[in-house]
Structure 1
Amino acid sequence: MAVLVTGGAGYIGSHMLWSLIDAKEDVVVIDRLSTGFEWALPPEAPFYKGDIADLELLSTIFASHDIDSVIHFAGSVVVPESVAKPLYYYENNTAKSRTLIEAAVNAGVKYFVFSSTAAVYGTPSDSAPVGEMAPLRPESPYGSSKLMTEIMLRDTAMAHDFTFTILRYFNVAGADINGRSGQSTAGATHLIKVACEAALGKRDGVDVYGADYPTVDGTCVRDFIHVNDLANAHLKALMRMRLGGGSIVANCGYGRGFSVFDVIASVKKVSGNDFPVRIVDRRKGDAVSVIANPAVAFEQLEWTPEYDDLSFIVKTSLDWEAHLSRRNLR
């Protein structure tokens, strides 16, 4: 059986493909290449350039390959952009996911792993790690668009022979430990990516969006997870469903947080380079502090993080940035 990976040419999707291939899985990829790169795809993966809203293309893919599972990454992920373009996010993340889910059900696909987000929680009421049963109060159209897709998956599973795993990501960072992929999008907004670019002279510094939050140092706090650990969680989720495990929702994080200033300090230390840091106005939609309670992933997926060290995450990010420069990949 094969696994269809949507958005497989993107940052997390490409890491997932390599993890699946390392596990001897057959994979198929669909990606419209709006933010991904065809060079990031493993050569073994049949690639279809197109949109997940294209029912004709989806029908061709499902008819041409013996697909039992979908791992769905395709979508837009920038919180401030979602605030400025809410209808685009509801189309690209929600409406198109509905089309994909329908095509998968019609093709007899039984297993579906969905790339969701901690943004569905909004800002928790206290600083304790947030669990899956916490109130769902997204503060941006991005978070709302993902929550709507979660609801569609739940309702679909109640009506069909269909099992899902929803993985709510916290802050994904780092690059493949074997150097095969990394965050490569120009103009990316991920903090560690931005700070690494500044450390290597690709940016003139880092903007910190607000330093007056009610946190220890005034900056937002996030739970950062290495992308290889995240890909492994997806692989564990797929295997669990194939062995008869039911539908679940699981957080993907490490259970501890780092502030924006913590991350900047780590990048400066690991790189050995200084760079300007500017305090600017807050961004709309940014939660104050969000830290995962990953107990469900630990217990239900039997997932054990291997790379839960901020310095290591930063080092792999810096190595990938240097690789991009050497290869002139963007």
Structure 2
Amino acid sequence: MASTELDRGAVLVVGGCGYIGSHMVRMLRDNGLRPVVIDNLATGYRDAVLPEELHVGELGDAAFLRKVLAETRPACVMHFAAASLVGESTQDPGKYWRNNVVQTLVLLDAMREHGIAEFIFSSTAAVFGNPVEVPISESHPCRPINPYGHSKLAVEYMLEDYAHAHGLRSVALRYFNAAGAHPDGSLGERHDPETHLIPLVLQVASGRRPFISRFGTDHGTPDGSCIRDYIHVQDLCSAHLLALRYLADGGATQRLNLGNGTGYSVTQVIEAARRVTGHPLPVQDAPPRAGDPPVLVAESAHARKVLGWVPQHPDLDTILAHAWQWEQRQAQERARSGG
């Protein structure tokens, strides 16, 4: 489907009430496109999208999917809905295979029935496992070390097979560490439980937590704490928007890394948060977590070449400042409601 046809059609955002999905819905709308959202609201929030955009239901419900697809006839599907907690995946792998793999298969088959052949998939750096080289490029061996990573890699293989057999073209975007919030402070992370470092640090600054835990101080990095590649959620969404145009213009199936190519340690993130918030941020050291690679940093040259993608918010302090606006807003709303 050409870009001009895309401008007249809908874009189905599966999991559009979640953290990244809701930012994507906003960006689509801001760019003159028509987002349609599917979400079961298990972890997403109804108020993150406009009511007229939302269809509440289960991704694994084929009849529900067929009804939404028939009514909305989207040009492309963006898939953000997945279980994504690494620790939980090791305890309940069946949940991850059902949610992330089986339900995606139901979605792809429903798309085939309705002649929808363009798909953008939220994948993850967890498909690589423990890195053998850093920065990590798309050619790095894929050896996931947990069921979450296994499930995401399984979908990548599924997309490859559907491309060959059925002509379904896709872009799988492998996120490194999504972070930040909408620059106007109106959207941000609302995970429960929260497991990501930046919102946890900012919850200390806003008084929701007494301290931040630093898991391991002897990881073989310059300051001993783990190093990660943090990418602003708006930059993630801009890559999806470019991927949407790429597929609409006939682009072939791709797997692309999304990261800034710069790593920051846990200690550096805490120090940056102190600068941004002015809070002392007490730290409590804890034992390292099993299977935590010391360094995960992306090589994203392929995304830049194929999509023309250039991150606009690569600076860690900017990422933190936007997330801090969101956390302060959340703290004010809790205070008003007595929560």
TM above 0.5, yes or no, is yes
- The question of 1:61 aligning with 2:68 is answered yes
Alpha-carbon deviations, 1:146-186, whole Å to 9, x = none? 00111101101111121100000000000011223110223
Structure 1 match to 2:135 = 129
Match for residue 147 of structure 1 among 142, 153, 157: 153
Distance 2:283 2:144 in 1: 29
Match of 1:77 among 81, 84, 94: 84
Distance in 1, Cα, partners of 2:123 & 2:300: 14
Q: 286-295 vs 222-231, which deviates more?
A: 286-295
Work out which of the residue numbers 94, 97, 104 in structure 2 matches 1:90: 97
Q: Distance in 1 between matches of 2:102 and 2:290?
A: 24
Deviation string 1:213-270 (CA, Å, 9 cap, x unpaired) is 1211121111000000100000000001101111111111011101111111111111
Range that drifts further, 205-214 or 265-274 = 205-214
1:170 to 176, 182, 199: 176
Q: For residue 307 of structure 1, what is the aligned residue in structure 2? A: 313
1:106 shift after superposition:
1.6
The DSSP-based 3-state class of the residue aligned with 2:251 is coil
1:105 maps to what in 2? 112
Contact 2:212 2:282 in 1 (8 A): yes
On the 8 A contact 1:132/1:251 being kept in 2, the answer is yes
Query: Which residue pairs with 2:6 in the alignment?
Result: none
Partner SS state of residue 48, structure 1: strand
Q: What is the rounded CA distance, in whole Å, between the counterparts of 2:61 and 2:84 in structure 1? A: 21
**Cα distance in 1, alignment partners of residues 111 and 15 from structure 2:** 16
SS of corresponding position for 2:202: helix
1:6 aligned residue: 14
Partners of 2:246 and 2:13 in 1: how far apart? 18
Gaps of 5+ in 1: none
What is residue 287 of structure 1 aligned with on the other side?
293
Q: Secondary structure of 1:157's partner? A: helix
Once the two structures are TM-superposed, the CA of residue 187 in structure 1 deviates from its matched residue by: 2.5
Partner-residue secondary structure (3-state), 1:115: strand
In the alignment, is residue 194 of structure 1 matched against residue 200 of structure 2? yes
What is the letter of the counterpart of residue 32 of structure 2?
A: K
Q: 1:18·1:42 contact (CA, 8 Å) conserved in 2?
A: no
* Contact 1:118–1:168, Cα closer than 8 Å, also in 2: yes
In structure 2, runs of 5+ residues without a counterpart are 1-8
Q: Distance in 2 between matches of 1:216 and 1:137?
A: 26
1:79–1:285 CA contact under 8 A, matched in 2: no
Q: Does the CA contact (< 8 Å) of 2:216 and 2:288 recur in 1? A: yes
**Residue 331 (structure 2) pairs with residue 325 (structure 1):** yes
The residue type paired with residue 53 of structure 1 is: G
* Matched residue type, 2:74: I
Contact 2:206–2:331 (8 Å) recurs in 1: no
Cα deviations across residues 188-227 of structure 1 (Å, max 9, x unaligned)? 1010010010111111111122222121112111100000
Q: Which amino acid aligns with 1:33?
A: L
| Count of aligned pairs | 328
Partner of 1:263: 269
- Residues 32, 51 of structure 1: 8 Å contact kept: yes
The amino acid of 2:176's aligned partner reads F
In the alignment, is the contact (CA less than 8 A) between 1:3 and 1:68 conserved in 2?
yes
Q: Determine the structure 2 residue equivalent to 1:22.
A: 30
8 Å CA contact 1:184, 1:324 repeated in 2: no
Determine whether 1:229 maps to 2:223: no
Identical-residue share of aligned pairs (%): 41
Report how far residue 103 of structure 1 moved. 1.1
Q: Contact between 1:17 and 1:42, CA under 8 Å: does it hold in 2?
A: no
Please report the RMSD computed on the Cα atoms of aligned residues, expressed in angstroms.
1.3
Shift of 1:275: 2.2
